[in-house]
Amino acid sequence: MRAHPMVGDSLLAVLLALLDLLVFAINAAAPFPKVHPWYVTVPMDLVMVLPLVFRRRAPVLTAYAVLAVSIPHSVLQLGVGSLFASAIALYTLVVYVGRKQAAWYLAAQLVSTGAQTALMWRTQTVSALILFTVTFAFCWLLGEFVGARRAYHTEVEARLHLLETERDQASRIAVAEERGRIARELHDVVAHAVSVIVVQADGASYAVRKDPDLAERAVHTISATGREALGELRRLLDVLRNEDGIDVPRTPQPDAQSLADLANRVSEAGVPVRLQVEGNLAGLPTGVSLGIYRIVQESLTNTLKHAGPGARAHVRIERREDVIEVTVTDDGAGRARALVPADGPLPGGNGVIGMRERAHVYGGSLDVGPLPGGGWRVRASLPVGSAP
């Protein structure tokens, strides 16, 4: 019925018409019937109840259509259909439109019914007014009750819809954040490994005839870098595949304690790296420790790709009370300040974006830019106490 309101309203109209016809039949069977011919009563009854079919589609129009038809229906004294139809119209206005429209309609009904009672039902004035008052008061109160319940259910449905929307939005945000995290991990692993492999492969191709030992060391570095990258990629794939939370064997995740190995690999790739650590990095939150490693890794990868021949890098990690300061600089000739527009975007592509996102995840900050005398600097600040 709720999905097809006109079906229920049509049944209501039919029942009301049958009730009016039943009253007509009873009066017609009386010893001294005072009824109009059926060809007057039946059409008037049908016209009386027809607007009720549309009472929920057009409640205001239905109410005043019933009011207009109820006047001749009552004047001709064709039955109780006009009273019940008018009461149903009032109930509909209270539930679906509001008290203001219902009050205007009730006032119009009071004027109409009062005039009809005074003119036509002189001997039944008191009983008619009592019947009118009781019927309309009951329908108004019933409409208030049903309207309140309807408003309550509407509010509950709206809140449930809002909660569902917020839950879906939170899920989308979580998925986007997870995608971003995986993208950063893949970028850091692949970009660093490929950069080291390319540099070492180029060096090996030049040294294979002149310095076989150097070429062999380069090949070993390529092999070690590739295996390490493969292990980290497998770890990421294990995380993606492990939907049931089963603890599967994984390659150990790099952290701040692995910076020395990272510096050695980059040095072997052709860029000497000086690592300076001030303070104890043990016991750092896992996310912060991984973030330090990835920021240094991406910075040194960019040095390998962009700093040019003969460049050197300096990595400085300083732990204060609750903040880790990470500074990576190089003296590459390809990064002079004059080559970078003052209002232009910084080079580095997704790598710089990934470093900045890593810093922001832990409530930190990242500053990237050229040095005045040439070279490049990456400076990150990571609060230790804000790690998730």
For 65-100, what is each residue's pLDDT tens digit? 888 877 776 666 655 667 788 888 889 899 988 888
Q: How confident is the model at residue 349 (pLDDT cuts 50, 70, 90)?
A: low
Please report how many Cα atoms fall inside a 13 Å half-sphere around the Cα of residue 2, on the Cβ side. Answer: 1
Q: What is the DSSP letter of 68?
A: H
pLDDT of 217 strictly over 80: no
The residue-averaged pLDDT of 268-278 equals 89
**What's the pLDDT at 117?**
60
The 313-319 sheet, strands edge to edge: 273-278, 313-319, 323-330, 376-383, 365-370
Residue 369 has phi, psi (to 5 degrees) of 175, 170
Task: Using alpha carbons, select from 21, 150, 147, 20 the residue that is nearest to residue 94.
Answer: 147
Q: Which pTM was predicted?
A: 0.48
Q: What is the pLDDT of residue 72?
A: 73
Count of C-beta atoms within a 10 Å radius of residue 72: 13
Neighbour tally for 78: CB within 10 Å? 22
Each residue's pLDDT tens digit, 109-129: 877 766 666 555 555 556 667
- 253 versus 84: the higher-pLDDT residue is 84
Which H or E run contains 284? none
SS3 4: coil
Three-state DSSP class for residue 330: strand
Distance CA(107)–CA(112), nearest Å, equals 9
* Residue 122 vs residue 325, higher pLDDT: 325
**How many angstroms from the chain centroid is the CA of residue 84?**
48
pLDDT, tens digit, 9 for 90 and up, residues 124-182:
556 667 777 888 889 899 988 988 888 888 889 989 888 888 888 888 887 777 777 77
With vertex at residue 280, the alpha carbon angle to CA 274 and CA 286, rounded to the nearest 5 degrees, is 95
Alpha helical stretches, state H, the chain: 5-28, 38-49, 59-75, 81-96, 99-120, 125-210, 212-241, 259-268, 286-306, 349-361
| Confidence grade of residue 33 (pLDDT, cut at 50, 70, 90) | low
Give burial (CB, 10 Å; 0-12/13-18/19+) of 309: exposed
Question: What is the pLDDT at residue 40?
Answer: 67
| Total Cβ atoms within 10 A of residue 322 | 10
